[in-house]
Amino acid sequence: MSTDDVIGVMLVDDHAIVRRGLRSYLETEPGIEVLDEAGDGEEALARVAALERAGRLPDVVLMDLQMDGLDGVETTRRLKDRWPVIDVVAVTSFVEEGRIRAVLEAGATGYLLKHADAADVVDAIRAAMAGQVRLDPAAAAALAASFRAPASTGVDSLTPRERDVVVLVAQGRTNREIGKELGVTERTARTHVSNILAKLGLASRTQAAMWAVREGLVDAQDAAP
């Protein structure tokens, strides 16, 4: 298996025992490599910068939200600002709408609770790489009950192709599935998604899905959870 086929993961948690447990499990998973770990937000940003200098950015960061100093939300925001290609999956003990919304707005693509099965963590990592969002069911319920998408540009700002793409995003399609549906490459689909998020002033695919529902492009029952 080449390096390009391996998902590089970084663990950020202020409890060493949690990092050790995650590392032990993930190292048994084919196609996943734990590149590094950090005990707080500042250390995480420094270690990602070091990995970049070494020529191997992580693909996915598992991010604890409750940390002393620079918390997980702000760390996620700074990480995504500097390295937008890195996906962040939040892993926390709390189901609070404000916390969920804050980290998704910061750019996270997943939200798991620490009592999740290890297999769920692996699924979230692989989903992030496929361009999907994974939310713990309790977090999804809290978000659905009270999330309001930020003000953004209207439907008229999108091209017909971009409207097709955002509808498919709202339906939970991966970049590969979007590409197949529209007859374009996965890379082109990813580019379309990135352009849409930038144009609408949104930070994540979850926000794009909720925007599509709000704008009437997709019925709420057809949107992915």
Domains and CATH numbers, the chain: 3-146 (3.40.50.2300), 155-222 (1.10.10.10)
Q: Report the alpha-carbon angle 123-78-71, nearest 5.
A: 75
Residue ranges in the chain whose pLDDT is less than 70: 1-4, 143-153, 220-225
pLDDT of residue 4: 64
Rounded Cα distance between 60 and 48, Å, is: 11
Please report the pLDDT score of residue 30 as a whole number: 92
**Element containing residue 8 per DSSP (H, E):** strand 7-12
pLDDT digits (tens, 9 = 90+) for 141-193: 776 665 444 444 578 888 899 999 999 998 888 999 999 999 999 988 988 88
In the chain, DSSP finds a helix count (H) and a strand count (E) of 10, 6
Q: Are 131 and 174 in contact (CB under 8 A)?
A: yes
Please name the helix (run of DSSP H) or strand (run of DSSP E) that holds residue 179, with its range, or none. helix 175-182
**pTM for the structure as a whole:** 0.65
